[in-house]
């Protein structure tokens, strides 16, 4: 599970913080309109293998494609 919060949205990029399992310490993912892809810009302390940031990047890609940028939401999976 990731908790995501919108930090910045402008013509060049969109930045969300992501927090694995709601624990303290957040990372950041960014969608770059020039490249058309989401990347991790800061890995959360509880995300040593990058699993949660990968999930957050995929969700950010999906949100951009749907033109739906929630201010705050929870991303859950099985």
For 62, the 3-state DSSP assignment is: helix
pTM of the predicted model, to two decimals?
0.93
Count of domains forming the chain: 1
Over residues 25-52, the pLDDT tens digits come to 899 999 999 999 999 999 999 898 999 9
CA distance 20 to 28: 11
Which residues span the domain enclosing 50? 2-75
Which residues lie below 8 Å from residue 67, measured CB to CB, with a gap of 6+? none
4 pLDDT band, cuts 50/70/90, is very high
């Amino acid at each position: 599970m990731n908790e995501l919060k919108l930090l910045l949205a402008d013509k060049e990029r969109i930045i969300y913080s992501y927090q694995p399992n709601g624990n303290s310490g957040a990372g950041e993912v960014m969608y770059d309109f020039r490249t058309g892809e989401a990347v991790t810009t800061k890995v959360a302390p509880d995300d040593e293998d990058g699993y949660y940031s990968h999930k957050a990047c995929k969700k950010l890609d999906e949100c951009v494609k749907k033109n739906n940028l929630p201010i705050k939401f929870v991303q859950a999976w099985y």
